[in-house]
A and B are shown apart, each in its own frame.
Chain A
Amino acid sequence: MRAKSLKDLLKARDRVAVSNITGREAAKVSIVSQRFCGNIVAGWALGKAGQALNVPGVGSIPVFGQFDELMTSLPEKKRPNKIVVYSPPDAVYGDVKEVLEHGQKKVETIFVITEHVSIEVTAKLKALTEQAGVDIVGCNTLGVINPHESARVGAIGADAPDETFRKGSVCILSNSGNMVNTIAAYLQAAGLGISCGISTGKDVLILTPSRDLLPLAMKDPRTRIIALYIEPGGAYEQEAIEYLATVRKPKPILVYVSGRFAEGRAVLLGHAGAVVEGPNTSASRKIQLFDDYFGMPVFDPEQRRRFVSLLAEKKRGVRVNTLHDLVPAAQALIDALDIKPDFQATRPIALRPWFVELGALGRKLPRELALYPTTIPEPYGSLVNQHVKSGIGRLPTRQPMRNASHASSNDGITPRIYGYSVMNLMKKGAFGEAVLLYWLGHPAKQGFEARLFEMGLIASLTNGPGTISAQGPKLSASAGNSPNTAMIATLAAIGTVHGGNGQEAARMLVDLFGQTKMTDPYSRTDVPDLDALVNAFVNKFKEKKAVAKEAGLDYGKVPCLGHPVFNKETINYDPRERVIAAYMEQHKLYNVFHDFYHRLARAMMDSGVTNKVHAVNVDAALTCILMGMAWPLLKDKKITVERAVDLPFLAFALGRVAGGAGEYLDHRESGADMDMRVPVEECRYLGRILD
């Protein structure tokens, strides 16, 4: 090996270049690495020259088309000495050859993360790198981490490497990348941190196996204990043990050998490397090799004292049967060899259930199996309180959706909306119903819902030519624009204070009613104590208003309460809302949100917050209609709160954009060109003339 120490494999000032850096996984991992240690100097990917990988808050990583270009473009001091290969399997051979050709005397180590590289290519990589005097780790490694110098390559430590990898004295060498993380996390419970974590890779040929790494770990000044995770396959451990037998004072080793359950079965383990070459490479044989080397049986946590004295006598370490036994085994080793822990042990490993609901089964279980929820650690605890326990709305799930949609499909024969044929929807003939299906993901459950929704849409069409959303299309028409531009102008002239207030109203209703157990907003019997809700809200609002007034600040208004036109009376109504209310009354329909809004308007005056009963405006009515439809879906966690909250604004926008189209058509037909222009003499300048 070129590396003479573990540090030679990875240290703080290493400069890393990443192949295929714009690939999905490579980009994601590189961003985390760059935030963690900032050691990536550049990446390269065919056809991506000139691009950059943006790392928010840190800067960007330049991307070159070829490695050659990368080497010639970077200043001498920034040229990489470590290479991480994320290329597709068929490109790995070519990319490594390119690195060896253009990275001579500069590149020290190549880490091949790629899976499914053929064995022939793997053997060729070994031959080529050996000839070039370059170390190669992998293929199929997850990477390497050096916690003492906050350096990593690959995805070791996932999104938060410093959470799992505290500085310490255990060197982990593992066939499985994920087990490097797992072992590091377990050992914290024994007060042990990590000196170095290496995922060797798990293919049939492991190009830098434990037999090469153990000598480095043995002489590493930071390493006091070595932890090995071993899978079946290969003669690596046999050779490692032959080496260990030659070391005068070997450092103690903790070993876990997996894969014994698969022996005698035609089972392919998760890793290709678990293809067993012969009897000497089986899990059982490796277990025997290590037990013989340690001179003691497998660790038994029930016989701690016995193992402490055995470990003190033999000093070579011990094998464990299950991975979580690593913790008591490490503790026994610490006691036996008088090793000082790296830090105070974190809380002991134990079953820590987050959610338990065993129902009738729980009552019949023995005590040790009938678990109860424990405190959920941060940052998860707050998230759980926020999302899981609130009992309302589904949490958004994320995935790449460039070519995917839940909302629509087209198999070449039938376009569909949430699985319903567009043609069948057309035959039904109700536009509002189809829109609600598209927006809610589920068909409207009640016949009146689409009718009320359409009333809201009609109300949203216009409030006269003076509204700013009507001015938008008129301006656009006056400038000679086409219809789509005029419609965009309509949409561009609505916002949170014009039309978007419904969004805030919906958010308020979710916050208030989300704390209640109400499931059916149309039921008069399932109504929470509305007066209590209203009073609590008004009192809180009053308090907030007083504090804000005292400080001379602007206090927020109750969304969708009041209207600039319909505000002349002591008790005010928005006539459009009245139409909706009359329809509901006529059809004996109840909507708890609508009821709440009217009670709120009155309570605001009764408590002196307002000097009149403000109109429950049409935006409020539309919000109440849409929240009525959304509520059962929110309670059933079928839609997110975000979706429900967006609905009123979308409904207003849909109605108003149709209205804007009407203004455009009228103005285009009858208005004079440029007639929306304000004459210069009417324009006022509010600043100072400076030259």
Chain B
Amino acid sequence: MSARIGELTFLRELAGRFKIPAPDYVVEPVTQSDVKARLRKWGAGIVKPDVLAGKRGKAGAVRKASEYHEAIQLLKKAAAEQVNGQQPRTAYLAQAVPADMELFTAITYDSRYLSPSFTISLKGGVDIESVPDSDKATIPVDVFKGLNAYQASQALSRLGLQGKLNSSLALCFVNQWDMFISTGMQTCEINPWRVNKDGRIFACDFKATFDENNFKFKDIGFTLPEYPTTEEAFDEEMRAWAASSHQGQAHVSSLGGKKILPILFGGGAGTIVIETLAQMDGDPMFLSDFGGNPPYERMKKTAEICFRHKLKEAALLLILGGKANNTQIDVTFAAIADALEEWAAKNGPISIPVVIGRGGPGLVQGFAAMKKALENLGMPYVFFGPDTPITLAAAYAARLANCGARKARGELP
């Protein structure tokens, strides 16, 4: 998952550094006298939760306050209340900017141009997807040369904005580009830019994602804030485990399912297997990709984490992958078998069915190790080789899991 930041991090760490004009702000906890003084200076403030959830405004989490008692109350409330299921890290009070004009800008890597692109709209402050194409301008940006002021200015002109404001905004946009490219961002959106009646410009909301593969991101000059996570403990532990080594993948995303524990190999295979399970009411617990030829100890710990978090609740264990190119099946399966036996030694016997499908180097040895372990544990099993399509094996697993669930509910003898 790409690293994300919101407006507060932008205000604290980036706006000043890249000379992007932004409103003044204070962060909860803040003293009453400070809030009072600021509101006196600003006239009014906007209370916002610092949360990585989209559409804060629509969710009613962004409130205007001009009186300090109200502002303090709103700050406490905004810091405590979840927004779209996400817990805010804190809340902050930003200077309210009365605007005559609102704009939207976004920089992203664009699949149409295979380069960065810059999008501007003079209809900012609303959901940009609702703005018609005629009111937006997207221009490709040369990744080597960057966004120049004249290009931004031309785009503004095309949208009908001329004069001094055109020039001031163009310079702001160039600074936005500099921030984007200097910190290894993948997307960066400012919505809205607000322009007050004096022609002063403020970047009033912000969101960005970083490309974690970009070396610049590894040295962005500040520590990314840690947001309260709603991530399951399983995802969190696996994410840390995945990041601890480049040997073999350990990607999971919980799906909230209750039936099938899927240990899957290969990004493409994982996706189509989960797609099939979902279509067949297989209710998979998570999406996984454990390919990339993990060594024994890596695969064993990966399986151990899966089993520790999920096996007790599972109705069926599915171990499935296509015909591997490089992954050694003997090594990975011996590791999974050992992790399963260790789990059973610690947690007691388990009798859920196991469906396995795989192909690749060391297949027979891997199957032999797994078969022996399942026999030792007394777990029912079905093994498929590479002559059975993985989606058929997945469909069978879904039907078998459902049959087990129906049996548990007494619908089958």
List the B side residues contacting A214 at CB < 8 Å.
none
Which single member of A118, A271, A351 contacts B384 (CB below 8 Å)? Answer: A351
Beyond A118-B211, A353-B388, A397-B331, is A182–B363 a contact (Cβ under 8 Å)? no
Quick check: B275 and A260 within 8 Å, CB to CB? Answer: yes
18 contacts between A and B (CB under 8 A): A118-B184, A118-B214, A204-B111, A206-B111, A270-B289, A321-B279, A322-B279, A322-B391, A323-B391, A349-B389, A352-B388, A356-B381, A365-B400, A369-B396, A383-B364, A397-B362, A398-B328, A400-B295
- Determine the residue in chain B with the shortest Cβ distance to A205: B114
List the B side residues contacting A262 at CB < 8 Å.
253, 287
Task: Give the distance to chain A from B317, nearest Cβ to Cβ, in Å.
Answer: 13
Beyond A118-B214, A270-B271, A369-B403, is A205–B279 a contact (Cβ under 8 Å)? no
CA distance A368 to B110 in the complex (A): 48
The segment from A165-173, A272-280, A556-564 that touches chain B is A272-280
List the B side residues contacting A514 at CB < 8 Å.
none
Q: Is the interface of B mostly helix, strand, loop or mixed?
A: mixed
Which single member of A119, A261, A270, A366 contacts B267 (CB below 8 Å)? Answer: A270
The segment from A234-242, A471-479, A659-667 that touches chain B is A234-242
Quick check: B330 and A395 within 8 Å, CB to CB? Answer: yes
CA distance A36 to B400 in the complex (A): 41
The segment from B8-16, B161-169, B318-326 that touches chain A is B318-326
Quick check: B382 and A178 within 8 Å, CB to CB? Answer: no
9 residue pairs, one from A and one from B, having the closest CB atoms = A270-B267, A176-B268, A234-B111, A395-B365, A118-B214, A397-B330, A261-B278, A355-B383, A383-B364
The answer, yes or no, to whether B222 is at the interface (CB within 8 Å) is: no
Quick check: A357 and B381 within 8 Å, CB to CB? Answer: yes
Quick check: A207 and B365 within 8 Å, CB to CB? Answer: no
The segment from B26-34, B69-77, B368-376 that touches chain A is B368-376
The answer, yes or no, to whether A7 is at the interface (CB within 8 Å) is: no
List the A side residues contacting B387 at CB < 8 Å.
352, 377
List the A side residues contacting B275 at CB < 8 Å.
258-261, 322
The answer, yes or no, to whether A233 is at the interface (CB within 8 Å) is: yes
Quick check: A117 and B322 within 8 Å, CB to CB? Answer: no
- Determine the residue in chain A with the shortest Cβ distance to B333: A397
CA distance A269 to B278 in the complex (A): 14
Which single member of B142, B296, B368, B392 contacts A387 (CB below 8 Å)? Answer: B368
User: Size of chain B's interface in residues, with CB distance under 8 A?
Assistant: 91
Quick check: A369 and B367 within 8 Å, CB to CB? Answer: no
Quick check: B184 and A270 within 8 Å, CB to CB? Answer: no
Quick check: B392 and A324 within 8 Å, CB to CB? Answer: yes
CA distance A209 to B272 in the complex (A): 20
Quick check: B403 and A397 within 8 Å, CB to CB? Answer: no
CA distance A355 to B358 in the complex (A): 13
Beyond A127-B144, A178-B268, A321-B279, is A233–B111 a contact (Cβ under 8 Å)? yes
Quick check: B142 and A127 within 8 Å, CB to CB? Answer: yes
- Determine the residue in chain B with the shortest Cβ distance to A139: B213
List the B side residues contacting A281 at CB < 8 Å.
111
Quick check: A399 and B412 within 8 Å, CB to CB? Answer: no
Task: Give the distance to chain A from B334, nearest Cβ to Cβ, in Å.
Answer: 5
The answer, yes or no, to whether B390 is at the interface (CB within 8 Å) is: yes
Other A-B contacts than A158-B360, A359-B380, 4 sampled, CB-CB below 8 A, are A158-B326, A178-B325, A266-B1, A270-B251
**Range class of the A interface residue count:** 35 or more
Which single member of A177, A185, A259, A383 contacts B271 (CB below 8 Å)? Answer: A259
The answer, yes or no, to whether B51 is at the interface (CB within 8 Å) is: no
Number of A-B contacts (CB under 8 A): 272
Quick check: A205 and B385 within 8 Å, CB to CB? Answer: no
Quick check: B269 and A178 within 8 Å, CB to CB? Answer: yes
Beyond A235-B111, A258-B271, A400-B295, is A364–B369 a contact (Cβ under 8 Å)? no
The answer, yes or no, to whether B116 is at the interface (CB within 8 Å) is: yes
Which single member of A260, A270, A350, A398 contacts B362 (CB below 8 Å)? Answer: A398
Q: Which residues of A contact B (CB under 8 A)?
A: 25, 28-29, 89-90, 116-124, 126-127, 142, 155, 158-159, 164, 174-179, 181-182, 185-186, 202, 204-207, 209, 229, 231, 233-236, 239, 256, 258-262, 265-271, 274-275, 277-279, 281, 321-324, 349-362, 364-366, 368-369, 371, 376-377, 380, 383-384, 387-388, 394-400, 404, 637
CA distance A265 to B257 in the complex (A): 13
Quick check: B369 and A123 within 8 Å, CB to CB? Answer: no
CA distance A271 to B287 in the complex (A): 12
- Determine the residue in chain A with the shortest Cβ distance to B270: A270
Which single member of B372, B381, B385 contacts A376 (CB below 8 Å)? Answer: B385
Which single member of A178, A349, A355, A361 contacts B266 (CB below 8 Å)? Answer: A178
List the B side residues contacting A270 at CB < 8 Å.
251, 266-268, 270-271, 287, 289
CA distance A346 to B137 in the complex (A): 53
- Determine the residue in chain B with the shortest Cβ distance to A358: B380
Quick check: A355 and B367 within 8 Å, CB to CB? Answer: yes
CA distance A28 to B181 in the complex (A): 37
List the B side residues contacting A181 at CB < 8 Å.
322-323, 325
Quick check: A185 and B323 within 8 Å, CB to CB? Answer: yes
Quick check: B384 and A354 within 8 Å, CB to CB? Answer: yes
List the A side residues contacting B378 at CB < 8 Å.
359
Quick check: B388 and A25 within 8 Å, CB to CB? Answer: no
Beyond A178-B266, A182-B269, A353-B388, is A126–B114 a contact (Cβ under 8 Å)? yes
Quick check: A267 and B389 within 8 Å, CB to CB? Answer: no
List the A side residues contacting B255 at CB < 8 Å.
261, 265, 267
Beyond A119-B213, A158-B323, A356-B382, is A366–B330 a contact (Cβ under 8 Å)? no
List the A side residues contacting B2 at CB < 8 Å.
275
- Determine the residue in chain B with the shortest Cβ distance to A269: B271
Quick check: A388 and B367 within 8 Å, CB to CB? Answer: yes
List the A side residues contacting B396 at CB < 8 Å.
351, 369, 371
Task: Give the distance to chain B from A411, nearest Cβ to Cβ, in Å.
Answer: 14
Task: Give the distance to chain B from A93, nearest Cβ to Cβ, in Å.
Answer: 10
> Which has the most chain B C-beta neighbours within 10 Å: A182, A265, A377?
A182
The answer, yes or no, to whether B125 is at the interface (CB within 8 Å) is: no
The answer, yes or no, to whether B410 is at the interface (CB within 8 Å) is: no
List the A side residues contacting B181 at CB < 8 Å.
120
CA distance A209 to B186 in the complex (A): 20
List the B side residues contacting A398 at CB < 8 Å.
328, 330-331, 362
List the B side residues contacting A122 at CB < 8 Å.
109
- Determine the residue in chain A with the shortest Cβ distance to B389: A324
Beyond A351-B396, A398-B330, is A235–B112 a contact (Cβ under 8 Å)? yes
List the B side residues contacting A120 at CB < 8 Å.
109, 143, 181, 184, 211, 214, 216
> Which has the most chain A C-beta neighbours within 10 Å: B116, B143, B326, B400?
B143
CA distance A396 to B403 in the complex (A): 36
List the A side residues contacting B270 at CB < 8 Å.
270
The answer, yes or no, to whether B413 is at the interface (CB within 8 Å) is: yes
Would you give the 0/1 interface string for B267-291, flagging 1 where the beta carbon is closer than 8 Å to chain A? 1111110111011000000010100
CA distance A122 to B330 in the complex (A): 35
Quick check: B382 and A353 within 8 Å, CB to CB? Answer: yes
List the B side residues contacting A126 at CB < 8 Å.
114-115
List the A side residues contacting B363 at CB < 8 Å.
380
List the A side residues contacting B391 at CB < 8 Å.
322-324
List the B side residues contacting A380 at CB < 8 Å.
363-364, 385
Task: Give the distance to chain B from A210, nearest Cβ to Cβ, in Å.
Answer: 11
List the B side residues contacting A235 at CB < 8 Å.
111-112
List the A side residues contacting B184 at CB < 8 Å.
118, 120
Task: Give the distance to chain A from B316, nearest Cβ to Cβ, in Å.
Answer: 11
Beyond A158-B325, A364-B413, A399-B331, is A116–B213 a contact (Cβ under 8 Å)? yes
Quick check: A119 and B109 within 8 Å, CB to CB? Answer: yes
Quick check: A205 and B380 within 8 Å, CB to CB? Answer: no
CA distance A239 to B231 in the complex (A): 36
Task: Give the distance to chain A from B54, nearest Cβ to Cβ, in Å.
Answer: 11
The answer, yes or no, to whether B395 is at the interface (CB within 8 Å) is: yes
Quick check: B109 and A204 within 8 Å, CB to CB? Answer: yes
CA distance A380 to B330 in the complex (A): 14
List the A side residues contacting B251 at CB < 8 Å.
268, 270
Task: Give the distance to chain A from B170, nearest Cβ to Cβ, in Å.
Answer: 23
Quick check: B295 and A123 within 8 Å, CB to CB? Answer: no
- Determine the residue in chain A with the shortest Cβ distance to B214: A118
